[in-house]
């Protein structure tokens, strides 16, 4: 089985321009990333384009920006896949405000071994469960569907500022829960 | 902090970082947060922490195997642009150790052919420049798309000096093709279009020059290594 350590090695070797590693990294991670692209974009052709762009960027120096031992390499890749997909989504949905999804900066959590990453995963869901279902759905919807405050305000039929106050409170509750 | 209008407010910053990581903000609010994420380390760390938490949502999405041919497409595009990749890899393979540069270049050529899918630039001409005492060995390969790859395999410039590459075609005066990088062995050099036709059969030479290259446009220092360009 491919472990996070294996993936990390692959990323570091891709950063050095090693072709074998690029192929291995693709084999090990492309299904995971394609699933994310497809979930965000809901269109196979576009998701394929974004997936291609992600791996090309990794090859062209993106992999060299990965810092070993900080966040899990899967977390790093998943964030790239999600952010690139959201970027694309906003490009092709011209009715929405054109905004860039946040760039992936250097992940700054402590060393994450598999167990830690797993507990991290369950923790966010446990904390989301503590929110009102509406708010939990809004947070996850923003993350995976690219909903902005404007979209959410329209959907819930409330003023934008009300929506914002609502979600900021939810984020603070999440933060409290996550730091416990 | 570079922006005076933003009051330090740890609690508010956590929420703002979360809003930014989720991509909820638009317009000025987004632009401001984006600027802070790039310039304010404390804020950037908060954004990172949120991104890493939220990544679990993405990681929980079911994997879907991408279509079969996609990697072939990606690989072609990725490797096509990186003749660097070939040369770098080949440089790591200790084949033909001790053989002349010609053997190394021949090996490079064989590798190019192995990977050649018809779209990638292939070497059309090669040259080896070897110093008389073997202290400097530089291999060069011209590719079908007009680029010149130069690999400094053995030797380096003297301290505070530069190695400069010259093209000597027929009876014409040497034309500088550029200074070889001191901090890396591989160089990619663009050959001006007007020189492309004069390459076949011409000579490449490397001279010792003041740092940054000859100040006169003609070689001023000793010629260290010379080699003829061979058409493949």
User: Residues B113-136: pLDDT tens digits?
Assistant: 433 334 445 667 778 787 777 788
Query: What range defines the domain where residue B157 resides?
Result: 73-231
Does the distance separating the beta carbons of B75 and A121 come in below 8 Å? Answer: no
Task: Please tell me the distance from the alpha carbon of residue A68 to that of residue B47, in angstroms, as a whole number.
Answer: 19
Rounded to an integer, what distance in angstroms lies between the CA atom of residue B52 and that of residue A178? Answer: 12
How far apart, in whole angstroms, are the C-alpha atoms of residue B232 and residue B98?
A: 23
CA distance B79 to B52: 31
Whether B49 and B78 share a structural domain: no
In-domain check, residue B2: no
Task: Report domain extents, chain A.
Answer: 1-110, 113-180
Task: Tell whether B137 is covered by a domain.
Answer: yes
- Among B11, B49, B56, most A C-beta atoms within 10 A, so best to mutate, is B56
**B194 and B100 both lie in a single domain:** yes
The listed CATH number (3.90.230.10, 1.10.10.10, 1.10.1740.10, 1.20.120.1200) that belongs to domain A1-110: 1.10.1740.10
Do B17 and B90 fall within a single domain? no
- For residues B34 and A101, the answer to whether their CB atoms sit within 8 Å is no
Tokens 């409170």 locate to A169
Digits of tens for pLDDT over chain A (180 positions)? 788 899 999 999 998 888 899 999 999 999 999 999 999 999 999 999 999 999 988 887 778 778 776 678 999 999 999 999 998 998 887 544 434 444 433 333 333 334 445 566 678 899 999 999 999 999 998 999 999 999 999 988 999 899 999 999 999 999 999 988
Task: Indicate the number of domains in chain B.
Answer: 2
Please indicate, yes or no, whether residues B86 and B185 belong to a single structural domain of this protein: yes
B135 lies within 8 A of chain A by CB = no
Asked if A130 is an interface residue toward chain B (Cβ–Cβ < 8 A), one would say: no
**Which fold is adopted by the domain A113-180?**
Arc Repressor Mutant, subunit A (1.10.10)
Verify that B82 and B149 share a domain, yes or no: yes
HSE at residue B105, side-chain half, CA atoms within 13 A, is: 28
Q: Across the interface, which of B11, B25, B49 has its CB nearest the CB of A108?
A: B49
Please return the burial class of B77, using the count of CB atoms within 10 Å of its CB with bins 0-12, 13-18 and 19+.
middle
Residue window 61-120, chain B: list those with CB within 8 Å of chain A.
61-67, 70-71, 73-75, 77-79, 81-82, 84-85, 88-89
Residues of A (134-163) whose Cβ lies below 8 Å from B? 139-140, 142-144, 146-150, 152
Q: Are residues B78 and B52 in the same domain?
A: no
Nearest to B120 by CA among B69, B70, B75, B81: B81
Residues B53 and B85 occupy one common structural domain: no
List of chain B residues whose C-beta atoms are within 8 Å of the C-beta of residue A31:
63-66
Q: Which of helix, strand or coil describes residue B188? A: strand
Distance CA A156, CA A138 (A): 10
């Amino acid at each position: 089985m491919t472990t996070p350590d294996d993936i990390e090695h692959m990323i570091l070797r891709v950063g050095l321009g090693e072709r074998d590693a690029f192929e291995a990294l693709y084999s090990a991670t492309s299904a995971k990333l394609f699933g994310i692209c497809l979930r965000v974009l809901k269109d196979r052709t576009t998701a394929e384009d974004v997936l291609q762009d992600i791996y090309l960027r990794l090859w062209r120096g993106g992999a060299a920006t990965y810092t070993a031992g900080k966040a899990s390499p899967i977390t790093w890749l998943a964030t790239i896949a999600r952010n690139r997909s959201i970027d694309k989504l906003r490009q092709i949905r011209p009715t929405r405000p054109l905004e860039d999804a946040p760039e992936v900066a250097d992940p700054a959590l402590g060393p994450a071994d598999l167990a830690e990453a797993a507990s991290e995963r369950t923790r966010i869901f446990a904390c989301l469960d503590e929110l009102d279902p509406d708010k939990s759905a809004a947070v996850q919807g923003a993350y995976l569907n690219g909903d902005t405050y404007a979209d959410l305000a329209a959907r819930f039929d409330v003023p934008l500022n009300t929506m914002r106050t609502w979600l900021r409170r939810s984020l603070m509750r999440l933060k409290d829960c996550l730091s416990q | 902090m570079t922006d005076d209008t933003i009051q330090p407010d740890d609690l508010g910053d956590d929420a703002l970082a979360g809003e930014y990581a989720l991509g909820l903000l638009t317009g000025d609010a987004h632009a401001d947060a984006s600027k802070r994420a790039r310039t304010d380390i404390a804020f950037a760390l908060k954004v990172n922490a949120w991104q890493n938490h939220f990544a679990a949502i993405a990681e929980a999405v079911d994997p879907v195997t991408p279509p079969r041919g996609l990697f072939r497409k990606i690989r072609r595009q990725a490797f096509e642009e990186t003749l660097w990749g070939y040369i770098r890899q080949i440089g790591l393979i200790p084949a033909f150790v001790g053989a002349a540069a010609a053997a190394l270049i021949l090996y490079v050529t064989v590798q190019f052919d192995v990977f050649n899918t018809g779209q990638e630039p292939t070497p059309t001409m090669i040259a080896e420049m070897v110093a008389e005492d073997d202290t400097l060995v530089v291999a060069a390969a011209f590719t079908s798309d007009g680029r010149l790859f130069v690999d400094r395999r053995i030797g380096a410039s003297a301290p505070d000096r530069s190695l400069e590459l010259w093209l000597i075609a027929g009876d014409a005066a040497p034309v500088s093709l550029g200074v070889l990088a001191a901090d890396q062995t591989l160089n990619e050099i663009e050959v001006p279009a007007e020189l492309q036709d004069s390459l076949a059969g011409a000579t490449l030479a490397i001279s010792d020059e003041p740092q940054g290259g000859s100040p006169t446009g003609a070689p001023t220092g000793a010629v260290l290594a010379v080699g003829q360009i061979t058409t493949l």
